[in-house]
Every structure is written in structure tokens, then in C-alpha cells.
Amino acid sequence: MPELFTWEFATDPYPAYAWLREHSPVHRTVLPSGVEAWLVTRYADARQALADQRLSKNPAHHAGTAHAKGRTGIPGERKAELMTHLLNIDPPDHTRLRRLVSKAFTPRTVAEFAPRVQELTDRLIDGFAAQGSADLIHDFAFPLPIYAICDLLGVPREDQDDFRDWAGMMIRHGGGPRGGVARSVKKMRAYLAELIHRKREEPGDDLISGLIRASDHGEHLTENEAAAMAFILLFAGFETTVNLIGNGMYALLRHPEQRERLQRALTEGDTRLLATGVEELLRYDGPVELATWRYATEPLNLGGRDIAAGDPVLVVLAAADRDPERFGDPDTLDLTRRDNQHLGYGHGIHYCLGAPLARLEGQTAIATLLRRLPDVRLAGDPADLRWRGGLIMRGLRTLPVEFTAETK
């Protein structure tokens, strides 16, 4: 049995997941936090679990106490007023809140956003293109989604660098509500409360104003629900996108023939490979390694194992998306893959709300990097790269690259 949650595992968890899929597909484990949970690694079981109404998202169903107190890994979530967000609630509240935010988060809004994402992408690349080297995480993947989400929410441009700092603190120090993280959450919470108040007085054309306006059969969003919604959009849409760009570029840089093929297609103006390619990058090494926590509300059987009421269940998306029962040649990166119903965005009622925005950002970022830095390559030895150790997300700490400097 391979060891889980070690440094080697963080670097390359896929051999351990292959072992689990084969020998213990629904596996009881003790997490580094000491909490016991079931890991679900086969595609068919994962899909079933993600859609199973007997698996609740409400931490109050956890038989232990850690989660009832809100220790589910999202910084600041323990703050009661930020906890009532989509990933912690079940129908009917989930249905009501999701419907409200979907109204404010339509595909049209996202499509209208394309020029702004392109402009942000180019501006960030302008910042390092003449240098001939960059850290693609710090200089590019990290700021892009923060500015994009701030724009979407309606955070004025002059305040967006504060958000960048607060989010940076949370992503660097993760989970616990200690010191700088706690201060950052507090500042963000206070800022959001103030912003919501301001948008009530002077509504704009943004998502927070949309949330305030939105009503569902006469039911309005409470102020706490609106703040929790803004907070979850920020968190669900931030580190995930950082890692889509980071893991995606890393995979491309390590598969030169795939990357050249994509570059050729883009030069010829063909964007089909970009679309299938970004989906494949999500399947191959996606940003969300494990789906967020679920808790059995009653005894149930999953993949032949008996799960007790109150047990936490973690669906390992990264393992399911490499299941040979579902994907041909699952360990091969194939940007042309068509039969690719990966679980990188989840499945069922909690399916990623921001998937259209994530696709837009991922495709714009990768296409623009390859166009503007055509000979971009890894700087240094891949063995020296470090992965963040968190449970839910999978992403690199840094991604140093070199390229021929752009001359104007």
C-alpha cells in the first residue's frame, strides 16, 4: 500500500491513485489533520457519489466535531456568516441560492467578459515579456483570476490590489485561521460588507449588484448570504484558475510534441484544439484533486463498502479522471481527446458554476502565452519544482520559465 499525503505523493499522486483504484477503490484513511474519511477513486463510483443526495454538503452531518465547527479547508470559512455558501449547503437552500447566482452569472455575462480577460492577460504578459524569464505562477497565473473575479464582482479597480494581497496571504498560508490569514479574512469580510452596502445604494452592472437585485419568488438574499456568495466565488474561482494555468502550462512544457501541435493550430487560426486541449489538461492534471467534503446522512454502500451515517466522503477527481475503465490510455496527454467527460468541474447539482469563466480564462491565458512567448520553456530541473501540500487543490508553488525576450 503506497503512503498517501507525503512529499512524494504531493509531487506525483497518480501511481498511488492507480493502486487505490485497483486494490481499494473506496478506501478509509486518516488524513493528516487526524480526520478519518473515505476516498473514492474509480470514475463510476465517483460520478455516483457526486450525484448521491444521501451525501450531504452540510458539515453539521459530520459524525466528528471538526467539520461541524467549519474546518473544511477554505480559509475563513469558520466564520459563521461566511459558511452558508453553495459548497456547504443542500437543497432546498442550495437550489434557491444557486438559482439566484445563476441569474447574475449568465453565459452572456461571461462572453461579454472575453475582451477584458484578453486585456488583463496581455497586460500581465507585458510586465515580463521583455525580461526573457518569469515565474508563471507569481507573475501571471496568480494575478489573472483575482483581477478577473474582482471585475466580475464589481470591486473597483483601485481596490483590486488589496484583494490580491489578501488572497495571496490566504493561498500561501492555507487552511487555519491563524495570524495573517485571519487578518486577511477579516479585512476581506469587512470590505465585502461595505461593498454590498455601497452597491445597494448605487447598483452597477456587476455581479454583486445582480445578487442584490436578484430575488426568487420574493425571497431576497440576506446580507450574509450575499457576502458568503461573493467569498465563495472568489475562492472557488481563484486558486482553481491559478492551477489550471499552472498545471496546464507545466503539462504542455513537458509534452513538446503536443504543445507544438497546439501552437501550429493556433498560428493557423484554428481554435478547436485549444478547446479540446484545455479540457484534456483538466482531465490529465486538474486543479481540484479532491472534490469538497461530503457526509453520509444515512448508512449507504459505495463500491462494495459500507459507509456509516456521519462519515465524511472525499471523491478523488484526479484518480477518477485517470481511470482506465473510462478513458483510453489515461496516463497519456492527448489534446485531441474527444470522448472526455472528465470530472474536473465536478458533477451533479454542485457542478462548477464558474466553468464557462474558467474555460475562458484558461483558453485565453494558454493561447496568449504560446503566441507571445513561442519558445517558452521550463527554467531549471522539473525535479526542483514544489507542489502545494493542500488536500483539495493541486498546484505548483512556482513555475520558472525562460523565453526569447519580446522586443517592441
Residues that bind ligand HEM (CB under 6 A): 50, 86-87, 98, 149, 232-233, 236-237, 240-241, 244, 282, 286-288, 291-292, 344-346, 350, 352-354, 357-358, 362
Residue 356 host element (H or E): helix 355-372
Nearer to ligand HEM among residue 129 and residue 335 (C-beta): 335
Nearer to ligand HEM, 37 or 233 (CB): 233
Q: How far is the CB of 248 from ligand HEM (least distance, A)?
A: 9
Three-class SS of the chain: CCCCCCHHHHHCCHHHHHHHHHHCCEEEEECCCCCEEEEECCHHHHHHHHHCCCEECCHHHCCCCCCCCCCCCCCCCCCHHHHCCHHHCCCCHHHHHHHHHHHHCCHHHHHHCHHHHHHHHHHHHHCCCCCCEEEHHHHHHCHHHHHHHHHHHCCCHHHHHHHHHHHHHHHHHCCCCCHHHHHHHHHHHHHHHHHHHHHHHCCCCCHHHHHHHCEECCEECCHHHHHHHHHHHHHHHHHHHHHHHHHHHHHHHCCHHHHHHHHHHHHCCCCHHHHHHHHHHHHHHCCECECCCEEECCCEEECCEEECCCCEEEEEHHHHCCCCCCCCCCCCCCCCCCCCCCCCCCCHHHCCCCHHHHHHHHHHHHHHHHHHCCCCEECCCHHHCCECCCCCECCECCCEEECCCCCC
Q: What is the largest CA-CA distance in the chain?
A: 65
For strands 26-30 and 36-40, give the pairing: antiparallel
By C-beta, is 139 or 285 nearer to ligand HEM?
285
Closest separation between CB of residue 244 and ligand HEM, Å? 4
β-bridge pairing 36-40 and 312-315 = parallel
Nearest distance, CB of residue 132 and ligand HEM, angstroms: 28
Query: Quick one: which of 333, 335, 356 has its CA closest to 270?
Result: 335
Which is nearer to ligand HEM, 100 or 181 (by Cβ)? Answer: 100
Q: How far is the CB of 291 from ligand HEM (least distance, A)?
A: 3
State the nearest-atom distance from the C-beta of 83 to ligand HEM, in Å. 13
- Based on CB atoms, which residue is closest to ligand HEM, 129 or 367? 367
- Smallest distance, Å, CB 74 to ligand HEM? 11
Give 232 or 266: the residue with its C-beta nearer to ligand HEM.
232
Nearer to ligand HEM, 182 or 228 (CB): 228
Which C-beta is closer to ligand HEM: that of 259 or that of 359?
Answer: 359
Beta bridge partner(s), residue 401: 134, 378
Strands 400-402 and 26-30: unpaired
| Residue in the shown chain whose Cβ atom is closest to ligand HEM | 354
If the CB atoms of residues 56 and 258 are measured against ligand HEM, the closer one turns out to be 56
Give the cell for residue 114: 472575453
Please say which residue, 25 or 395, places its beta carbon nearer to ligand HEM: 395
Shortest distance, CB of residue 336 to ligand HEM, whole angstroms? 20
Q: Least CB distance from residue 404 to ligand HEM, whole Å?
A: 29
Cβ distance to ligand HEM smaller for residue 134 or 207: 207
Partners of 220 in beta bridges: 215
Q: CB of 120: closest distance to ligand HEM in angstroms?
A: 13
Q: How near is the Cβ of 372 to ligand HEM at its closest, in Å?
A: 21
DSSP code at position 127: T
Shortest distance in whole angstroms from residue 383 CB to ligand HEM: 26
Q: Which amino acid is at 4?
A: L
